[in-house]
Amino acid sequence: MTSLDEDDDYTGELRLLERDVVSTVGEEYRVLVAQNAASARPFNEGAAFLERVAEQVQQDLMDWHVHTTWPPCPRQPNHPLWFSDGSWRCERDQVQIPLGQIVARKSTRDE
Protein backbone atom coordinates (compact mmCIF):
# COMPACT_ATOMS: atom_id res chain seq x y z
CA MET A 1 0.00 0.00 0.00
CA THR A 2 1.35 3.40 -0.95
CA SER A 3 1.02 6.24 1.56
CA LEU A 4 1.93 9.90 1.66
CA ASP A 5 5.38 11.00 2.80
CA GLU A 6 4.79 12.78 6.12
CA ASP A 7 7.93 14.88 5.61
CA ASP A 8 6.75 16.27 2.28
CA ASP A 9 6.24 20.05 2.16
CA TYR A 10 2.88 19.42 0.50
CA THR A 11 1.49 16.71 2.80
CA GLY A 12 -1.37 18.97 3.94
CA GLU A 13 -2.39 19.82 0.39
CA LEU A 14 -2.09 16.18 -0.71
CA ARG A 15 -4.40 15.17 2.15
CA LEU A 16 -6.92 17.74 0.88
CA LEU A 17 -6.66 16.21 -2.59
CA GLU A 18 -7.27 12.80 -1.00
CA ARG A 19 -10.38 14.23 0.65
CA ASP A 20 -11.68 15.38 -2.74
CA VAL A 21 -11.03 11.94 -4.24
CA VAL A 22 -12.58 9.97 -1.38
CA SER A 23 -15.67 12.18 -1.08
CA THR A 24 -16.46 11.89 -4.78
CA VAL A 25 -15.29 8.50 -6.07
CA GLY A 26 -14.51 6.48 -2.95
CA GLU A 27 -11.87 5.30 -0.55
CA GLU A 28 -10.40 2.78 -3.00
CA TYR A 29 -9.04 5.63 -5.16
CA ARG A 30 -7.21 7.43 -2.31
CA VAL A 31 -4.02 5.58 -3.28
CA LEU A 32 -3.88 7.51 -6.58
CA VAL A 33 -2.74 10.61 -4.70
CA ALA A 34 0.24 8.89 -3.07
CA GLN A 35 1.17 7.02 -6.25
CA ASN A 36 1.11 10.16 -8.37
CA ALA A 37 2.94 12.17 -5.70
CA ALA A 38 5.73 9.59 -5.67
CA SER A 39 5.95 9.72 -9.48
CA ALA A 40 5.91 13.52 -9.67
CA ARG A 41 8.27 14.27 -6.76
CA PRO A 42 11.59 13.77 -8.62
CA PHE A 43 10.55 15.95 -11.54
CA ASN A 44 8.52 18.83 -10.06
CA GLU A 45 9.13 21.45 -7.39
CA GLY A 46 6.97 23.91 -5.51
CA ALA A 47 3.46 24.61 -6.73
CA ALA A 48 4.21 22.73 -9.97
CA PHE A 49 4.45 19.52 -7.90
CA LEU A 50 0.94 19.89 -6.44
CA GLU A 51 -0.53 20.87 -9.81
CA ARG A 52 1.10 17.87 -11.48
CA VAL A 53 -0.26 15.46 -8.86
CA ALA A 54 -3.79 16.90 -9.09
CA GLU A 55 -3.73 16.81 -12.89
CA GLN A 56 -2.48 13.23 -12.99
CA VAL A 57 -5.05 12.01 -10.44
CA GLN A 58 -7.73 13.72 -12.54
CA GLN A 59 -6.38 12.14 -15.73
CA ASP A 60 -6.27 8.67 -14.15
CA LEU A 61 -9.90 8.91 -13.00
CA MET A 62 -10.97 10.03 -16.46
CA ASP A 63 -8.84 7.55 -18.44
CA TRP A 64 -9.98 4.61 -16.32
CA HIS A 65 -13.62 5.73 -16.71
CA VAL A 66 -14.04 5.96 -12.95
CA HIS A 67 -15.49 9.45 -13.44
CA THR A 68 -15.05 11.03 -16.87
CA THR A 69 -15.74 14.59 -15.66
CA TRP A 70 -13.87 14.49 -12.34
CA PRO A 71 -14.23 16.67 -10.43
CA PRO A 72 -17.51 17.83 -11.93
CA CYS A 73 -18.41 21.50 -12.03
CA PRO A 74 -21.21 22.15 -9.52
CA ARG A 75 -23.06 24.33 -12.06
CA GLN A 76 -22.53 22.28 -15.22
CA PRO A 77 -21.69 18.72 -14.09
CA ASN A 78 -21.11 17.56 -17.66
CA HIS A 79 -17.60 19.06 -17.58
CA PRO A 80 -14.76 18.96 -15.04
CA LEU A 81 -13.15 21.65 -12.98
CA TRP A 82 -9.43 22.25 -13.56
CA PHE A 83 -6.79 22.66 -10.85
CA SER A 84 -4.68 25.81 -10.67
CA ASP A 85 -3.30 28.06 -7.94
CA GLY A 86 -4.49 25.74 -5.17
CA SER A 87 -8.14 25.55 -6.24
CA TRP A 88 -10.45 23.72 -8.59
CA ARG A 89 -11.79 26.17 -11.18
CA CYS A 90 -14.44 26.31 -13.87
CA GLU A 91 -13.14 28.05 -16.98
CA ARG A 92 -16.68 28.78 -18.20
CA ASP A 93 -18.14 30.74 -15.30
CA GLN A 94 -15.21 31.23 -12.92
CA VAL A 95 -16.51 28.93 -10.14
CA GLN A 96 -13.66 28.33 -7.70
CA ILE A 97 -13.60 25.59 -5.08
CA PRO A 98 -10.66 25.29 -2.68
CA LEU A 99 -8.72 22.05 -2.60
CA GLY A 100 -10.37 19.61 -0.20
CA GLN A 101 -13.84 21.12 -0.58
CA ILE A 102 -15.23 19.07 -3.48
CA VAL A 103 -18.34 17.20 -2.39
CA ALA A 104 -20.28 14.52 -4.17
CA ARG A 105 -23.55 15.59 -5.76
CA LYS A 106 -26.56 13.78 -4.41
CA SER A 107 -28.26 11.52 -6.84
CA THR A 108 -32.01 11.78 -7.24
CA ARG A 109 -32.26 8.46 -5.36
CA ASP A 110 -30.67 10.13 -2.30
CA GLU A 111 -33.06 13.04 -2.19
**Residue 103, pLDDT score:** 84
Distance CA 109, CA 75 (A): 20
Distance CA 47, CA 44 (A): 8
What are the tens digits of pLDDT across the range 61-97? 999 999 999 999 999 889 999 999 999 999 898 899 9
pLDDT surpassing 90 at residue 28: yes
- Name beta bridge partners: 96: 89
**72 secondary structure, DSSP code:** B
User: Cα-flanking dihedrals φ and ψ of residue 110, to 5°?
Assistant: -80, -15
pTM: 0.87
